[in-house]
Structure 1
Amino acid sequence: MIRRLWSFSDRYYILHLTWFAFFLSFVVWFNMAPLATTIQQDLGLTTEQLKVLAICNLALTIPARIVVGMILDRFGPRFVFSALLVLALIPCSIAATATNFNQLVWSSLATGIMGSGFVVGVRMVAEWFPPQEIGFAQGIYGGWGNFGAAAAQFTLPALAVATTFLSNGAVNWRLAVLLTGIVAALYGVVYFLCVEDTPPGKVYQRPQRHGAMPVMSANSFWAMMALDMGMWLSLGILTFPLTQPQIHFLQGWQELLCWGFLAGLFLLQTYKSWQVNREVVGSLNPLNSNFLKSSKTYPSAQRYQFRQIALLSFTYLTNFGAQLAVFSILPMFFEQTFALNRVTAGMLAAISYPFLNLVSRPSGGLISDKSSSRKWTMTLFTAGIGVGFLLMSRINSHWSLPIAIGVTLLCAYFVQAGAGATFSLVPLIKRDITGQIAGIVGAYGNVGSVVYLTVYNFTNTWTLFSTMGVVALICASLCGFFLQEPSASFAENDAIPKVEQSN
């Protein structure tokens, strides 16, 4: 498969078009971060306001991945990815013409939705590749597409400087931001014209009911509610720094209002989920004779275990959630621990994560494809994450810098390969709701970053690394005991695999 990767024909043609669509969605998502100080000077923003914009840029990504996953399963990845890229022009235009902080807040909130583009490509790649190749294909898609964030860091400042002649000698950040939206919108049209949802002769599998994920039992329903609550709680945590005295973006009553709004959304989501699954859950009215009484049993061919989704969400929290958190603090960690200059520390962070990810995430998927067990591949990678972070928690100024870099690279490899292994399993759970499954699992990557950065804000780097290590080892043990190998994990055709029957 590695040799055929460069053939740009058949399913590999779709893979390349799709990872580049994901790449552009991440360029748009992170288009203001590398230009933040220039924007700050131009619009007279405070450092605290920049922090607010960074939080706003993450806020809607978590719910957007869930919503986009449902839309995706219904309308197909071709239409959804194309629409997402075309609509990227709207927040980019708002940002490029912004004259005050409030306009940037709205554009940052809307731009965060671009982070949901990842979910769309997971379903597209799953439709075109057989199970025996799905890990490597998803790894290429995720690893190369994720590089869009790093590409924005490297190219947009240079573009803004190169076009100063169009803005009276000032750094042209507005044009740089606008161009990301224009390029994404144009590529959205190209993508729509050049891809199909499935290979010729294959039918796109859609869920029978829309609006929420179908589950197979009442226990699975309550487990799904617990996962949903975790996502909404992580969004609530994001409001906390906005009330701090140095930022003071939200008043105390406004924070309570946000929590009330999030609680209302959770209750609405719970009700929609119950509507889709009322036969397996029963009535929620204690006075009803059918209170919590199931009236439906799915045929074995349609059943799947929801705990597979819960476990993979946990693994993605431990790998991709850690990746997002560590990359944001790693330059400062090296700078302060080893007295490095800012440029050198930034280069070490870039090598450890964005550049290494180009190889490590695909290799995680490839190892999962070539091994005899996806379950134990996932378990071992997660255990490696735990050991890696526990080693990193011991790094201090007395360590040799080369050894510290080696430990960091080793840990980063397990983190990124683990993410590749996670999404070698996601498409194999239940094909017709792959978008929703990818949405939940992907959202928990963002949940992980929120949780870990919250731990960091209240403690220090060494405590953060220790926490990440312990959480990963707990996750590895759970995978070893409870994660199941999907049937047809290594099938050579596009048969729709199922996991074993749930209880």
Structure 2
Amino acid sequence: MSIITLNKATKLELLKFSKPATRTFWITSISFFLCFFAWFGIVPFMPDVVKDLGLTPDQKWNSIILAVSGTVFARLLIGKLTDKYGPRLCYTWLLIIGAIPVILIGFVQTPLQFLICRLFIGFIGASFVITQVHTSIMFAPSIVGTANATSAGWGNLGGGANRLGMPIIAAAVVSFGIAEQADAWRYSMIIAGIICFLMGIVYYFFTQDTLNGNFKDLKAKGQMPTAKKDQVGFLEVLKDYRVWILFFVYAASFGIELTVYGTMDDYLQNTFQLKRVTAGNIVLSFALMNIFARTLGGFFGDRFGNKYGLRGRVIFLALILALEGIMLATFSSITILSVGIAFLIAFSLTVQMAEGATFSVVPFINKKAIGSISGIVGAGGNVGAFFAAMLLKSKSAIAEKTAIAANQGMSQDIIEAAQSAASSTAVSSGYFIIGGVILAASAITLAIKFSTEEETETTELKTEPTLILADK
């Protein structure tokens, strides 16, 4: 017996906690939420960090880039490890070890120490890969897209919820007299790290790798592929062009969401003259849409798949990607706030649906190496974020320096206004370019093909995807 013949749940029954599939779904979703919460937990405190550690603008940008760069390597590695050792052990150790740099960042005293911690904190972003593997193992083809997208949506939500949660933790630390306001960000990160550590213990004791049992026990019974077969599967993954198309697709969806989320505060302030609090609340709303938007992508991916086969999943993915590109390119040229927010909401909806739709396709590429494929595709998101951030950073830096040079001798207010306008124009053009890249990704997606044998394998479970909220 191989892993692809193991029992799988055909329904996502959210309130039946006694069932291993439901219990695993919620524990992996909450773990993913906490990892993203800690990964981007420092973002709300960046003004305090800049002041406390004396970060330069370049060091601030570099910390953003390092935070997403470290995740690339971690995701590539964790996918292979998950195929070999199972999601339960891999998630347990990722949470426990990943908690260390989260805690240590609360003790940094220099910019270099801060940058190193941000690099290693990024490793917990690999939690996404394990989450997708675990839900792919637990749920049948008819519902796997919905399950993957819903669990992933909770994780992405953590990246936005920290804008509310971290300041609340900081306020509690100050109100209880544990620390002064200037050091509250340090204690908040330490607390987030401790919670991740404790969640690792929960993961070990309350989840299992599959509905049939853990990888270790199944291997002892001869019911799992051997290490040699795993290795061959990984080589096959590297040679499969479809994996690299999905790598590009995820770079054009999740990678762009990360970049836009990280740059939108300043862009809204510079373009529409909003206050920082107002801009931050708009971006928070953008992140909170992950509660339902990513699930929609997986749900419709399943619906298209159940009706039109695996090709249907690909077609839906291409369509939603095209809409994502159009929404971002259009948003980049808008100067009216109300219209801009409407297109920003549309972009948020489509980019998150595209992420969900991507992982409604991933489980069907090579079922013997779901972890490896998820790792490569997941890493694509961070590679996309890296290059998009580098594009926006370079365009903005050049434009701002030119504006400052052109207004030398003028008042500080005039220089700042010119710098703000230059940054807005530069980032706007960057968004437009990125929109074009997304449209290219949409076209390339259609090149993904499946064999007749692969199509046939998915017909054994044609049940409509079901999302059960309560017992009937």
Superposition TM-score tier, normalisation by shorter sequence:
0.7 to 0.9
Q: What are the Cα deviations for residues 143-170 of structure 1, in whole angstroms up to 9, with x where unaligned?
A: 1111112222221222123212112564
> CA separation in 2, counterparts of 1:93 and 1:135?
34
Question: Alpha-carbon deviation of 1:189?
Answer: 0.6
Contact 1:26–1:145 (Cα < 8 Å) also in 2 = yes
1:98 is matched with 108
CA distance in 1, matches of 2:181, 2:292: 40
Given candidates 57, 62, 76, the residue that maps to 1:66 is 76
Aligned with residue 376 of structure 1, among 300, 312, 315: 315
Q: Which residue among 364, 387, 407 is the counterpart of 2:297?
A: 364
1:31 shift after superposition: 2.4
SS in 1 for 2:341: helix
Matches of 2:262 and 2:102, distance apart in 1 = 23
Calculate the TM-score normalised by the size of structure 2: 0.79
Q: Which residue in the other structure is 2:17 paired with?
A: 8
Distance in 1 between the 2:290 and 2:105 partners?
29
Q: How many Å apart are 1:209 and its aligned residue?
A: 4.9
Instruction: Judge conservation of contact 2:249–2:441 (CA < 8 Å) in 1.
Output: yes
Are the counterparts in 2 of residues 26 and 115 from structure 1 also a CA contact under 8 Å?
yes
Kindly provide the CA deviation profile for residues 386-407 of structure 1, in whole angstroms up to 9, marking residues without a partner as x: 2222322331x2x3x3222111
- CA shift in 2, pair 1:360/1:93, >3 Å: closer
- Superposition deviation, residue 321 in structure 1: 1.3
Q: Is the 8 A contact 1:206 1:433 kept in 2?
A: no
Aligned to 2:461: 492
> In the TM superposition, what are the counterparts of 1:430-445 in structure 2 within 5 Å?
430-445=366-381
What is the CA deviation profile of residues 290-310 of structure 1, one whole-angstrom value per residue up to 9, with x for unaligned ones?
xxxxxxxxxxxxxxxx12211
Residue number among 87, 99, 105 corresponding to 1:77 in the alignment: 87
| CA distance, structure 2, for counterparts of residue 206 and residue 355 of structure 1 | 42
CA distance in 2, matches of 1:111, 1:361: 24
Contact 1:163 / 1:171 at 8 angstroms: preserved in 2?
no
Residue aligning to 1:324: 258
* Unaligned segments of structure 2, at least 5 residues: 1-9, 396-425, 464-472
Q: Deviations over 1:363-415 (max 9, x none)?
A: 000011112221111111111112222322331x2x3x322211111122111
The yes-or-no answer on 1:452 pairing with 2:398 is no
Cross-structure match for 2:169: 159
Query: Is the Cα–Cα contact under 8 Å of residues 322 and 448 in structure 1 kept in the other structure?
Result: yes
Q: After superposition, what is the alpha-carbon deviation per residue over 1:82-111, rounded to whole angstroms, capped at 9, x for unaligned?
A: 011111232133222223333323322221
Quote the residue 2:413 is aligned against.
none
CA distances 1:404-445 after superposition (whole Å, capped 9, x unpaired): 211111122111101000001111222221111111101111
1:345-365 residue CA offsets vs partner (Å, 9 max, x unmatched): 22222222x111211100000
Partner residue of 1:419?
355
Structure possessing the higher relative contact order (Cα contacts under 8 Å, 6 or more residues apart): 2
Give 1:463 shift.
2.1
1:38 paired to 2:7? no
Question: Quick one: structure 1 residues 52 and 143, their matched pair in 2 at CA, closer, same or farther if it must change by over 3 Å?
Answer: same
Quick check: 1:426–1:438 contact (8 Å CA) kept in 2? Answer: yes
Higher helix share: 2
Matches within 5 A, 1:80-479: 80-164=90-174, 165-167=177-179, 170-200=182-212, 203-205=223-225, 208-209=228-229, 214-216=234-236, 306-352=240-286, 354-371=287-304, 372=307, 373-395=312-334, 397=335, 399=336, 401-459=337-395, 460-479=426-445
* Separation of aligned partners in 2, 1:457 and 1:34: 20
The 2-side partners of 1:385 and 1:169 are apart by 41
Unaligned runs of 5+ in 1: 225-305, 495-503
Paired with 1:340 and 1:67, the residues of 2 have a C-alpha distance of 42
> What SS is found at the alignment partner of 1:166?
coil
d(CA) in 2 for partners of 1:57 and 1:310?
23
Displacement of 1:62:
0.6
The alpha-carbon distance between structure 1 residues 364 and 313, as it changes in their structure 2 partners (threshold 3 A), is same
Q: 1:347 to 1:450 in 2, by over 3 A?
A: same
Q: 1:75 to 1:63 in 2, by over 3 A?
A: same
CA drift of 1:204 comes to: 5.0
What does the per-residue CA deviation read over 1:41-77, in whole Å, with 9 as the maximum and x for residues that have no partner? 3344444433333333223111111111111111100
CA–CA separation in structure 2 for the residues paired with 1:408 and 1:474: 20
* Amino acid aligned to 2:228: Q
Q: Relative to structure 1, is the Cα distance of residues 361 and 169 closer, same or farther in structure 2, using a 3 angstrom cutoff?
A: closer
Distance in 2 of aligned mates of 1:69 and 1:157: 33
